[in-house]
């Protein structure tokens, strides 16, 4: 309802939905390149209602990103990867539906005859002497203004809701001693014994004010002839078309003779952070919350039935209760958390409803704001299997496995998928036991579905069946059987990660001649499987890689399954062996899925991105595919990483969509924004991480920072409270921020044209970071091998991308001092407006090639105001983000004291890759792999929190303190530290 549209309508005060954002003037802030976590926390306290708005011209925070892209409507096209049922449901649920208000006589709270009626427990303390803490949600300034106006109209004594009879309390008041015991905090506030600040009763603009002048409490009220008890759920008039839903905690009369109730609110899906991306959710599904406030009794419309059900991934619609609404999760604004409700008794096939007689007491959290946990380090308690989607070179899965092992959980990467050949080669080189697949994620999903059918046919339903022994042949027809030169070259590169020179091999012609002569080739065996069109023939489908009898591996070809109808025994053998060795996961095989769906379509580095409808860009559809794979495999845990722009563009539709898909699948979810520098890296790198957890698992926490960090830019204002950081005034012990010297000062000098793949270190490590990053793989993982095996003396990938001759001359002229860049070259002047131009008094200097010494593009890049071209990094600085390119034309990539860009190894150290981790491909491809990777220390910290959650060692709060010295301690060192703490 629009503000002021109808002054006769009664509106409640709802604290969880609206929060005025008022800037704090004259707040000293560091500049973006000088601020630190220690000096200016990234996340404000949930109890501070004002948003801290920096006044820097370079960093602007607005009230809400809901006002961005106004008029842009997201058009979601269904991807073929989505299950048909999901697509159909999404189409049906997208249309606007209005929930009909049941008659006021609706009194049933039970979920049908079979529903189990019990008192509901949140697993939190029911202490009555503490007021529950309030949680707030940032909304648009427009919504805030609308709500404030409606709220003032409501509190100013306008006409109430048109009930047939005046609402009233019935029965005798609850005895004073019983009421003061149940709601002690309210009576203490009335008597002035509480430390809480009392808000003036005429403060009509304070939607969260506590009505403290209580006279007595009641157990029942009557609304239009319907009796409503404490603990009942009711419709309450809302400011929008749909009514709010809440549970009654208190009925009380004030000393002024006014009748009030205290309401504990439920959220509809669209009321949560999911907003418009919750259109395909069941409209009957609600989310429990601990948010509550006081409202006049007149705002009640009618009673409504709300049932708690046990969370279950595959819950069928016919199994849902017959009540008006149901809920199975709690929603908390902080870190956009959806989690399973702690319950005392909850079986998969039973429902639990509210009991009207057991809900007098409010609930209040008793857990601390964060927890610190140290595992009992020793032998691994259990092995979990991980699937790494969009794996790249493996940074995310490597870090997760390292962190999980530190928590005594043996997380092992079993499968990895990426469509980049060189990245797959790098992952395979460092993790030889992983089944690495070089293919698109969508094709991988289709392959999984076909593989399940094959396993059912040849393994489950056919264990005793064998096929008659016969000569297995297939006709050599066209391109299907004869390996074409160009296609087969592509196959070898994609499947094996090798670069065998096949196009000039005469044996291809020999094989084709043989095929023409005999008309058929004999199948020796099947060596691989895929779904798609690896030979670019235009025919997509299930394919087997065939090894032909009498020919070498280089002649293996991809054949459609339809052409292998005479090779049933080979297919059976391949499927059975593959099933046994788990070359592909089946549903139930995967415990953890992680991945960072490609973000090229939304990255801030993409100047041509689709701002209004990002899901229309095929490059952004991978988020849909990622969630489809999660829905198909149903793992225990999910971790998705992406750029912060998914929370900026199109009212954060991509981020909301990802969160909405998880919650729709009944996964628990939690969203956080993490700065890599907070975990011991000399770069800022802000990224979004989305946790998902099976309903029966503990939802993993986010790790609190261990290091101070130099702030380079700010998170989106609406999601500012999702930033993982300490609250203001919260005690913390942070290590100093790491800078470039800490990471790379020990590396030997190399020239611009360095070509060696490996070399010696030449000098010992100089910092804790360098000692840690030089550790061997065995020390990192905690494996107990002999000391000689753990020694590592060689340094790999310490070579830069060679500059062109012209750029090398320019770089040699850049002074070796802090802040040096192209502006230090001769013939450049800087105006008062910080815009550079050529010095008209000097003749343009030319290079031997005839090109100008100072290239023309530096005068137009960023309107001539940028200092990035040919800029030197310095020892006491950090980089904003390690990107996928190394170009010195538009970013600071020059070594402080050497005339070259940073090497591949230096780039890798800034991302936290251990020195033992090697990379494949061209130099350009190696830089790209590193820039696309998740920072290893961040993934390691998240792996630790996931391991603790799996063992049920973590709390319900969203944040966890890591063990001391965690980022720069190997697992072997952590093991010794934990052992010493245990002995002490």
- Token pair for 722: 């999702």
Catalytic residue among 535, 570, 599, 928: 599
Q: Which runs of consecutive H residues, i.e. helices, occur in 681-828?
A: 740-744, 768-773, 777-781, 787-790, 805-812
DSSP string, 722-770: GB--PPTT----PBPPP-HHHHHTTSPP--TT---SEEE--S---SHHH
Provide the Cα torsion 235, 238, 241, 245; round to 10°.
-30
Dihedral (C-alpha) 779, 784, 786, 789: value to the nearest 10 degrees? -40
CA 810 – CA 70 distance, rounded (Å): 45
Q: Tell me, what DSSP letter sits at residue 981?
A: H
Assess contact for 854 and 912: CB atoms under 8 A. no
Chain centre distance of CA 607: 24
606: left (phi over 0), alpha (psi -120 to 50) or beta: beta
Q: Which residue's entry shows tokens 């399973």?
A: 340
The residue among 957, 969, 968, 960 whose CA lies nearest residue 374 is 960
Give the pairing type, strands 285-296 and 351-353: unpaired
**Separation between Cα atoms, residue 543 and residue 558, nearest integer Å:** 6
Alpha carbons 220 and 166: distance in angstroms, whole number? 14
Yes or no: say if 160 and 10 are a contact pair by the CB < 8 Å rule. yes
Closest CA to 712 of 31, 5, 130: 31
Of the chain, the end-to-end C-alpha distance in Å amounts to 63
Q: Kindly give, in sequence order, each residue whose CB lies less than 8 Å from that of residue 649, ignoring residues fewer than 6 positions away.
A: 68, 69, 602, 609, 611, 614
- Residue 332: active-site member: no
β-pairing, 351-353 vs 371-372, is: unpaired
Question: Counting beta carbons within 10 angstroms of the beta carbon of residue 159, is it exposed (0 to 12), middle (13 to 18) or buried (19 or more)?
Answer: exposed
Distances (CA, A) of 743 to 433, 464, 682: 30, 60, 7
Cα separation, 361 vs 713, whole angstroms: 44
Helix (H) or strand (E) holding 659: helix 653-664
Distance CA 776, CA 765 (A): 14
Whether 638 and 593 have beta carbons less than 8 Å apart is answered as yes
Catalytic residue numbers read: 599
């Amino acid at each position: 309802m629009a503000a002021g549209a109808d002054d006769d309508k009664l509106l409640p005060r709802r604290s969880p939905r609206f929060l005025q954002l008022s800037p704090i003037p004259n707040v000293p802030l560091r500049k973006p390149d000088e601020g630190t976590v220690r000096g200016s926390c990234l996340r404000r306290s949930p109890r501070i209602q004002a948003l801290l708005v920096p006044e820097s011209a370079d960093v602007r925070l607005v009230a809400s990103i809901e006002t961005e892209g106004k008029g842009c409507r997201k058009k979601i096209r269904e991807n073929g990867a989505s299950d048909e049922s999901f697509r159909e449901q999404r189409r049906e649920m997208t249309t606007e539906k209005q929930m009909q208000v049941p008659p006021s006589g609706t009194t049933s709270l039970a979920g049908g005859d079979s529903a189990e009626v019990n008192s509901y427990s949140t697993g939190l303390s029911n202490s009555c002497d503490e007021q529950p803490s309030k949680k707030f949600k940032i909304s648009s300034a427009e919504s805030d203004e609308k709500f404030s106006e409606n709220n003032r109209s409501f509190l100013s004594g306008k006409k109430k809701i048109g009930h047939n009879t005046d609402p009233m309390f019935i029965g005798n008041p609850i005895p004073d001693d019983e009421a003061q015991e149940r709601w002690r905090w309210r009576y203490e506030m009335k008597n002035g014994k509480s430390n809480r600040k009392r808000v003036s009763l005429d403060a009509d603009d304070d939607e969260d004010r506590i009505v403290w002048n209580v006279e007595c409490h009641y157990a029942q009220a009557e609304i239009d002839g319907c009796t409503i008890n404490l603990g009942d759920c009711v419709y309450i008039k809302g400011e929008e078309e749909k009514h709010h839903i809440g549970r009654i905690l208190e009925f009380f009369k004030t000393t002024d003779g006014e009748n009030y109730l205290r309401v504990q609110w439920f959220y509809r899906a669209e009321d949560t952070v999911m907003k418009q991306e919750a259109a395909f959710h069941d409209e009957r599904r609600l989310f429990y919350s601990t948010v509550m406030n006081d409202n006049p009794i007149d705002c009640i419309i009618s009673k409504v039935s709300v049932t708690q059900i046990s969370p279950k991934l595959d819950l069928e619609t016919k199994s849902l209760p017959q009540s008006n609404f149901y809920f199975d999760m709690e929603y908390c604004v902080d870190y956009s958390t959806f989690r399973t409700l702690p319950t005392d008794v909850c079986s998969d096939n039973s429902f639990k409803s509210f009991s009207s007689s057991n809900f007098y007491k409010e609930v209040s959290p008793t857990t601390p704001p964060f927890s610190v946990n140290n595992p009992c380090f020793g032998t691994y308690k259990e092995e979990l299997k991980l699937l790494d989607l969009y794996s790249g070179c493996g940074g995310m899965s490597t870090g997760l496995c390292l962190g999980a092992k530190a928590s005594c959980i043996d997380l092992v990467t079993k499968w990895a998928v990426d469509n980049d050949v060189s990245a797959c080669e790098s992952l395979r080189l460092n993790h030889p036991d992983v089944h690495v697949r070089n293919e698109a994620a969508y094709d991988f999903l289709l392959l999984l579905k076909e593989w399940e059918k094959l396993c059912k046919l040849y393994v489950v339903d056919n264990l005793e069946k064998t096929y008659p022994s016969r000569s297995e042949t297939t006709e050599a027809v066209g391109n299907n059987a004869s390996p074409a030169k160009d296609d087969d070259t592509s196959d070898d590169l994609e499947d094996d990660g090798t670069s065998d020179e096949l196009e000039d091999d005469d044996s291809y012609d020999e094989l084709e001649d043989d095929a023409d002569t005999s008309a058929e080739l004999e199948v020796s065996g099947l060596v691989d499987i895929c779904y798609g069109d690896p030979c670019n023939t235009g025919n997509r489908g299930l394919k087997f890689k065939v090894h032909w009898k009498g020919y070498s591996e280089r002649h293996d070809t991809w054949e459609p399954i339809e052409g292998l109808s005479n090779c049933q025994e080979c297919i059976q053998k391949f499927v059975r062996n593959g099933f046994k060795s788990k070359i592909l996961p089946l549903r139930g095989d995967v415990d953890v899925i992680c991945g960072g769906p490609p973000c090229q379509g939304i990255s801030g580095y993409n100047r041509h991105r689709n701002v209004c409808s990002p899901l229309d860009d095929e490059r952004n559809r991978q988020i849909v595919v990622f969630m489809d794979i999660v829905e198909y495999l149903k793992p225990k845990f999910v971790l998705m990483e992406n750029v912060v722009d998914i929370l900026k563009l199109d009212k954060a539709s991509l981020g909301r969509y990802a969160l909405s898909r998880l919650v729709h699948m009944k996964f628990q979810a939690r969203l956080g924004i993490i700065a890599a520098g907070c975990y011991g890296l000399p770069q800022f790198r802000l990224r979004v991480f989305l946790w998902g957890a099976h309903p029966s698992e503990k939802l993993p926490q986010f790790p609190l920072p261990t290091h101070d960090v130099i702030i380079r830019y700010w998170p989106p204002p609406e999601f500012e409270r999702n930033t993982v950081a300490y609250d203001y005034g919260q005690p913390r012990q942070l290590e100093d921020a790491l800078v470039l010297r800490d990471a790379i000062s020990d590396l030997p000098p190399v020239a611009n044209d360095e070509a060696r793949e490996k070399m010696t270190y030449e000098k010992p490590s100089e910092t804790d970071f360098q000692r840690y990053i030089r550790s061997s793989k065995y020390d990192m993982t905690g494996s107990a091998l002999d000391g000689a095996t753990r020694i590592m003396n060689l340094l790999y990938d310490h070579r830069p991308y060679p500059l062109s001759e012209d750029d090398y001359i320019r770089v040699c002229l850049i002074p070796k001092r802090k802040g040096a860049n192209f502006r230090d070259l001769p013939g450049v002047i800087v105006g008062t407006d910080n815009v550079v131009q050529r010095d008209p008094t000097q003749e343009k200097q030319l290079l031997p090639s005839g090109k100008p010494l100072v290239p023309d593009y530096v005068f137009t890049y960023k309107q001539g105001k940028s200092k990035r071209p040919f800029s030197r990094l310095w020892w006491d600085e950090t980089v904003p983000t390690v990107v996928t390119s190394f170009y010195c034309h538009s970013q600071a990539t020059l070594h402080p004291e050497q005339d070259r860009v940073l090497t591949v190894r230096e780039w890798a150290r800034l991302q936290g890759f251990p020195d033992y981790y090697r990379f494949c491909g061209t130099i350009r491809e190696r830089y790209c792999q590193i820039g696309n990777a998740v920072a290893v220390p961040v993934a390691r910290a998240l792996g630790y929190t996931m391991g603790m959650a799996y063992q049920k060692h973590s709390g319900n709060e969203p944040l966890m303190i890591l063990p001391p010295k965690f980022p720069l301690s190997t697992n072997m060192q952590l093991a010794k530290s934990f052992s010493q703490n245990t002995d002490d």
